[in-house]
Amino acid sequence: MTQSKERLRRADPDRTQPYRSMMHAFGKGEAGGPPGGHPLGIGGAVSAGQSYADRAVQEASDLVDRHIRTGAAKTEQIDNSFQGMSWLSTLAQSQDLAGLMTQATKAYSEITTMWVELAATIRDHLANTRAPAQTDGAQNAAPAGETPVLRLRASCMVEARVDMLRPGTPERATQLAPEEADQTGSNLAARLEDGHLVVTVPAGQTPGRYNGLLLDGSGGPVGVIMAEVFADDGSAA
Amino acid sequence: MDKARPKKVAIFGGGCAGVSAAFELTRPERNGEFEVTLYQMGWRLGGKGASGRDAATGRIEEHGLHLWMGFYENAFRFMRDCYAELDRPAGHPLRTWDEAFVPDNYVGVTEKLGDSQWANWAAFFPPSAGLPGDPLSGQNPFSVSGYLAHCMRLLHTLMLSVQDRGHEPPNIKDTGVTQAASQLVTSLLSCATKDTLGTARRAVKYGQLAVGTLILEAINTLQTLLGALRPGQNAAATQSLLDPLAITIRRFLENMVITDPETRRIWEVIDVVLAIVRGVLREGVLFSPRGFDLLDKYDWREWLLSHGAAQATIDSAFIRGSYDLLFAFEEGDVNLPSLAAGQAIRGAMRMFFTYRGALFWKMQAGMGDVVFAPAYEVLKRRGVKFEFFHRLEKLGLSADKSHVETATVTVQAEVKEGADYDPLVPVKGLPCWPALPQYDQLKYGTQLGKKRWNPEEPDDDRSVSIKTLKVTEDFDFAMLAVGYGAVPGISEELIAAEPAWQRMVDSVQTVATQAFQVWLDENVDDLGWQHPPINISGYVEPFDTWADMRQLIEKEDWPTDPKAIAYFCSVLPDTQCGEGADAAVRDGAINFLNRDVAHFWPDAVTNEGFRWELLSGAEGTGEARFESQFWTANTSPTERYVLSLPGTLDQRISPLDNRFDNFTVAGDWTGCGHMAGCVEAAVMSGLLAASALSGTPHLSHIIGYDHP
C-alpha cells in the first residue's frame, strides 16, 4: 500500500441543506455552477411558476364564480320555496330561514374567495419576484442570514419592514414598486449601505404600499422590503 | 501534496448509495482523480436491493418487492449512463436500460368494505411525456405553486370523471326537514344546470358535486357562526333546524357517493387534494424557506384531518396505501402508523405529478441483475476495487476528533490464492448474483458450502482476520454507506464527539420487513384474478402488498416454467424479530395463503385452505410444500428500513455535512433532500456524497434536491 504524504481534507461545502423556498426557483440559480448548463439539460432553466399561478388563479376563479352565481340564484329560489312551506313556520320564521340561507351563501362565498385571494397573492409575489425593479446599486452586503437594519429617510409618515425569506447574504436591494398596478406613485429608492438598508421616500410621494426585494449575489431574492407611505393627515391610501 | 496522486476513497457498503457514489467519483471525465475501494459485507452488492439466483432453478430471490417510480430521475439517469457505458452486445438478454425497466401503468389498492369484505381498486395512470432520466428542459417542475396548479387540474379532472359516470341525485322519499333539504339540493342542482346552459353535459354534472360540497361547507360554517350572526335569537331553536338539515344533506351526498364505489374512491382523492391545498395555503408553505419540511412535525393523517379531510378519507385505501408503501409503522406495529406530513406530500407530489413515462417501472429480472450487476461490471472496468466479505465494524476518530482515522473491518472469508472474488454467475446469458456465495472460490469453500454459510446472517461471526484501515495509508476519504440500522454501532466515536450525530441516532428509527415469493403452476387469471398484472397495497396484514411478477418467468431457468410468480411483502413487528423471525414469516405466509389470498385468487383456495399443489417445484403434500418457496425476515441491522417519522427528518446528517473533514455519509437515511426509504433517495445521497468529496456533481444537477 502506498503511503500518502499528506492527509487530505474535504472542502467546506457552500451549504448542507436543499433550497426549499419557492423564491429560489425564480432567482438565477446558484453562483458557481459549472459552465454549459446541466448535464441533463436543465441548466439555466427558468421556472414557469408564474404561468402556473396564473392558470391556478384563473381556474380557481372560474370555479368560485360558478358557485357564487349558483348561490345567488339559489337564494332567490330558496326564498320562494321556503315561503310555501307552512310547516316550517313552527320551527322558525320563514324570513329567518331566508336570512340563514343568504348567510350560508355569503359564508361560502367568503370561504371560497379567501383561497382565491391567496392564489392571487401567489401571483403577486411571483410577479414581484420575476420582474424586480432596477436595482439601486448598493454594494455593501448585510451579514449573512441577518435582517439588515432598516433606515428610513422620509419627510412623511412611513412604516417599513423587511421579511427575510431564507438564509442568505443580501447584497443589493431593488427599488420599491407600488403594490397596485394602477398606483401612480414612482418607485422608492433602496440601497444597502454598510449593512444597513436605506429606503428613501421623497417629499410628495403618493401614499400607498410599496414592495421591493433584497437580492443575494446570484440575484436570488432573500428578503422582501415593504413600505407603506401615509398621507399628510396620517391616513392610508 | 503530489497533485498527480489519486485520492483514495474507501466506501463502506455497496447498496444504491455506495455504488452510485462510486459511479460518480470514477466517471471517465475525472481522469482517475479518485481511486475507489468498495468494502462489502458478504458476496454481493445491493444492500436492501440485493437479490440472488437459486442454483437449481435460476429463480430470483429478493429482499422484498422493488418497484421503481417514474420520478426516480437520478436513479434512472444512473442506470441509463451505466447501460450506455456497458454497451452490451446485440442479443444480450438485457442489453439496454429500457429492456431492463418496463413501464407499468397500473397501481392498485385494496379497501375494506366491512369486517371481512375487501375490494380491489385498480387505477390506470396514463403514460406521461418523456422518460425518467431524460433531460429536464424548459422549466423547473418543482415549486409549491406548480403543485397547487397540478392539484387544481387534478380536481377538475377527477370531478369530470365522476360526472362521466352519469350520476343523478338519489330520489329521497321523506317528509319534513328531509323533504325540504331534498328540494333545496334539487333546486341547487337546477340552478347549476341553468347556470351552465350552453356548456357540455360534463360541465353540467361537474356542478352537481361541487354544489353539494359548497352547501355542506356553508352550513358547517354557519353552525359555528350562529350565535354571532343573530344575537338575541333563540340559537337552540335554529340549531335544531340546522342540524337535521345538515345531516340530511350529508346523507344525500353520501348516498350519491356511496351508490357507486368508484365515485366514492374518486371523492376520497378529491377530499385529500382539497385538504392539501387548504393546508398548504393556511400553513404558509408557499413562502416558507423550509418548503414542505415545515409540515414534517405532523403525522400525515393527522395533518389531513386538521385541514378538513373526512375521517372516511383518512381511513381510505388511498391513504392507508401510502403508509404501506413506506412501511410507515413504528416498531412494525400496524396500529402505530406514523409518517411525516411534509415528506408524504413531497413524495405524493413527485409521484403523481412529476412521473415520466409511467407511474411505476418494473425490473425485468432481479434488482441485483438489473441494477447491481451492470454497475459492478462498469465499476470494475473503471478500476474500482471490490473487497467482498469485508464487514465494517467501527470507525475511529483522530485524537482531536477532526477526522476519521481508522476503519476496523472483519474479513469474513478469503479468496483462494489471493485472487479477486468473481461474484457473478450467468443465468440464461444474464450476469446475476447467486443466492449464496460461490464457495468454490473461497478458502475452506467445501466446508462452507456444506454448511451453506451465509455471511449476511445477523449472527454470523466468522472472522478470518481483522483489518484496521488507516487514513493516508488505506484511504484519504471514507464514506459510510451502510444501512442505517448498522450506523449507531459503527459510529460510536462519531456520536460521542458530535451532538448532531447523537441527535440523529436518538430520533431516526428503522423497522424490519418481511416478504415471501411463490411460484405457481397456474396463472393468476385462471385462479380468479380479474385485473391486469398489478402491484396492490392496503390489504390485510401480515402481507399488505402483492405484486404480480409474471414478467420474470422467462428470465428464470426452471426445468418447467411456472405460470405465475407473486411477491408479497409487509412490515415485520419488532415483537416478531429475533430468533423466531424466520419461522414467524413462514407461518404468516402459510396462514395468509390459507386464509387471505382468496381475495385475489378465489380459485386458489378451497374450504380446506390453499391448494398447495399449485406451488411450482415443490415436494411433499400440504403445507410442507411451502418449504420449497422463498421467504425472508429482514431483521439484521443493515436490512432494516428507515422510517420517515414526524419530527425526526431534520435530525438526519447530510452527506454534505463536514464535521469530520475526510468523511461523508450516504444512504436513504441521510439528509439527502428526499427523506424516504427508496432507491431515489439512496442515489441522491450517493451523488451528494460524491459532491461532498469532489465538488461535483453540482447540487443543482441533482434532480429534486432543491425541491420545496
B130-185 residue pLDDT tens: 899 988 754 456 777 667 666 665 655 555 444 444 433 334 344 343 444 444 44
The answer to whether B654 contacts A103, with C-beta atoms less than 8 Å apart, is no
Ranked by mean pLDDT, the top range of A124-138, A149-163, B228-242, B384-398 is: B384-398
Percent of chain B topping pLDDT 90 = 63
For an interface test with A, which of B214, B294, B398, B707 has the most A Cβ atoms less than 10 Å from its Cβ?
B214
- Chain B: nearest CA to A234, how far in angstroms? 31
Query: Using a CB cutoff of 8 Å and minimum separation of 24, what contacts does A180-185 make?
Result: A180/A208, A180/A209, A183/A208, A183/A237, A185/A210, A185/A229
Residues of A in contact with B138 (CB under 8 A): 45, 48
- State the helix-helix crossing angle for B73-86 and B16-25, rounded to 10 degrees: 60
pLDDT of residue A107: 43
Minimal Cα–Cα distance from A35 to chain B, Å? 11
CB contact under 8 A, B698 and A13: no
Would you say A111 and A104 are in contact if contact means Cβ atoms under 8 Å apart? no
Closest to B136 (Cβ–Cβ): which among A22, A41, A111? A41
DSSP letter at A1 equals -
Report chain A residues whose CB lies below 8 A from the CB of B137: 41-42, 45
Q: Per mean pLDDT, which range of A222-226, B341-345, B502-506, B541-545 is the poorest?
A: A222-226
Per mean pLDDT, which of A154-163, A169-178, B199-208, B627-636 is the most reliable? B627-636
Q: Provide the chain B residues 147-186 that lie in CB contact (below 8 A) with chain A.
A: 148-149, 152-153, 156, 176, 180, 183-184
Residue among A1, A3, A6, A8 with most chain B CBs within 10 A, to mutate: A8
Residues on chain A touching B286 (C-beta within 8 angstroms): 22, 118, 122
Residue burial A36-63, b: 16+ Cβ < 10 Å; e: rest: ebbbbebbebebbbbebbbebbebbeeb
Look at residue A128 and tell me whether its pLDDT is greater than 90. Answer: no
What is the dihedral angle through the alpha carbons of B646, A22, A40, B101, rounded to the nearest 10 degrees?
40
Chain A partners of B136 at a C-beta cutoff of 8 Å? 38, 40-42, 45
For B462, phi then psi, to 5°, come to -65, 130
Distance, in angstroms, between A30 CA and closest chain B CA? 8
What is the DSSP secondary structure assignment for residue B597, as one 8-state letter?
G
pLDDT of residue A215: 79
**Which residue reads 403594490 in cell numbers?**
A179
Q: Using an 8 Å CB-CB cutoff, list chain B residues near A11.
A: 695
Give the confidence band of A220 by pLDDT, cuts at 50, 70, 90. low
Contact at 8 Å (CB) between A221 and A126?
no
Side chain identity at B334, as an amino acid letter?
V
Residue of A nearest to B77 (CA): A40
- Residue B466 CA to residue B389 CA, distance in Å, equals 12
Judging contacts by C-beta atoms under 8 Å, the chain B residues touching residue A104 are 215, 218-219, 221-222
pLDDT band at B595 (very low <50, low <70, confident <90, very high): very high
Q: How confident is the model at residue A54 (pLDDT cuts 50, 70, 90)?
A: very low
Chain A: closest CA distance from residue B135 (Å) = 4
pLDDT > 70? residue B363: yes
The predicted model gives B630-634 an average pLDDT of 96
Query: With an 8 Å Cβ cutoff, are A47 and B139 in contact?
Result: yes
Inter-residue contact B112 to B120 (CB < 8 Å): no
Q: Which residue of B has its CA nearest to A30?
A: B700
Share of chain B above pLDDT 70, in %: 79
Contact A30 B698 (CB under 8 A): yes
Whether B507 shows a pLDDT value over 90: the answer reads yes
For range A202-223, the mean pLDDT: 78
A-B CB pairs within 8 A amount to: 250
Nearest to B188 among A70, A91, A97 (CB): A70
Beta bridge partners of B162: none
Check: CB of residue A30 under 8 Å from CB of residue B124.
no
Distance from CA of B83 to the nearest CA of A (A): 16
Beta-carbon count within 10 A of A130 CB: 14
Q: How far apart are the first and last CA of chain A?
A: 77
Residue B226: pLDDT over 70: no
3-state class (DSSP) for residue B664 = strand
* φ and ψ of A50, to 5 deg: -65, -40
Angle at which helices A49-83 and B144-164 cross, to 10°: 40
Q: Say yes or no: B470 contacts chain A, CB-CB below 8 A.
A: no
Using the Cβ of B55 and the Cβ atoms of chain A, whether some distance falls under 8 Å is answered with: no
Rounded Cα gap, residues A173 and A224, in angstroms:
9
Q: Choose the weakest-confidence range: B218-222, B281-285, B556-560.
A: B218-222
Whether residue B658 and residue A16 make contact (CB cut-off 8 A), yes or no, is yes
pLDDT at B537: 75
Contact A66 B210 (CB under 8 A): yes
pLDDT category, B700, cuts 50, 70, 90?
Answer: confident
Contact across the interface for B187 and A74, Cβ inside 8 Å: yes
Average pLDDT rounded to a whole number, residues B450-479: 96
pLDDT by residue (tens digit) across A156-206? 888 888 877 656 788 888 888 776 656 667 889 999 988 889 999 988 888
**CB-CB under 8 Å, B289 with A21:** yes
Chain A residues touching B192 at Cβ < 8 A: 66, 70
- Say if B132 is an interface residue toward chain A (CB within 8 Å): no
B367-391: average pLDDT: 98
HSE (CB half, 13 Å, CA atoms) of B693?
Answer: 33
Q: Which of B535, B160, B548, B154 has its CA nearest to residue B354?
A: B154
Cβ contact B473–A4 (<8 Å): yes
Nearest to B634 by CA among B514, B458, B457, B455: B514
Helices (H) and strands (E) in chain A, counts: 2, 8
